Amino acid sequence: MAYPILEIVGLQKRYGDNTILKGVDLSVMSGELVCIIGPSGSGKSSLLRCCNRLESVQGGQILLDGEEVTRFDIDLNKLRQKIGMVFQSFNLYPHLRVLENVTLALRHVKKLSRKDANAKAVDALTKVGLADKLAARPGELSGGQQQRVGIARAIALDPKVLLLDEPTSALDPELVGSVLSVMKSLKGFGITMLVVTHEMGFAHEAADRVVFMDGGVVVEEGPPQQIFNAPQQARTREFVGRYTKGH
């Protein structure tokens, strides 16, 4: 039985006088792949950054598996083991090998032995199709492979939710597909994902639900078929219309 693993209620985020999130409500079910789409500046990335407390919030609350993550005394280290984040830039340590990049948090944050950390890292790297690159350094990999190492590093911690913020936007177009197909395969492992993306084809094809944000609010959400083929709101129609014209 699926239940909401991540609940966002009335979330507000301001930078000075500029209100970025104006009372966002969103639930993500366990095992679900939810894509957030919308124009630049609509608050999509800020929403993700609030979820793992890279940003403070000014109102509302976020619950992860029933625990409030927006309370002031939350242990951020523990929280970030439960809610993984993959960024646009790969953030790998260039001097460390792939295996070491993935085991670092397992050993220093989760305090696993080298043997257990290595086993978890190899499992995660196998899931993203890089079991043959354990000894490579990031500079020897393509951008797509580096991003897949970033995903492996996040899932090795067994997070309850994986947040992905435009994970393909820094990649050359021909490398995008490999990362998107890995994200699709992770869904098969039951990993819950909340993805900010401008890859409309991926959202259309892989998401269980698509959320359209604009101006700091959720304008519309629903199954991909509804959002792309029969949107209810004029703003959604206008936004997805630009995408469907190109296809």
The pTM is what?
A: 0.94
Largest pairwise CA distance in the chain: 55
Average pLDDT in the chain: 94
Predicted confidence band at 90 (pLDDT cuts at 50, 70, 90)? confident
- Spatial distance between the Cα atoms of 84 and 157, rounded to a whole number of angstroms: 8
Kindly give the pairing relationship between strand 83-86 and strand 193-196. Answer: unpaired
- Spatial distance between the Cα atoms of 41 and 43, rounded to a whole number of angstroms: 6
pLDDT value of position 205: 93
Kindly give the pairing relationship between strand 193-196 and strand 33-37. Answer: parallel
| pLDDT tens by residue, 38-69 | 999 999 999 999 999 999 999 999 999 999 99
Residue 242 has pLDDT above 90, yes or no: no
- Spatial distance between the Cα atoms of 180 and 203, rounded to a whole number of angstroms: 10
In 3D space, the residue among 172, 180, 178, 220 whose CA is nearest the CA of residue 199 turns out to be 180
DSSP H or E segment with residue 235? helix 234-245
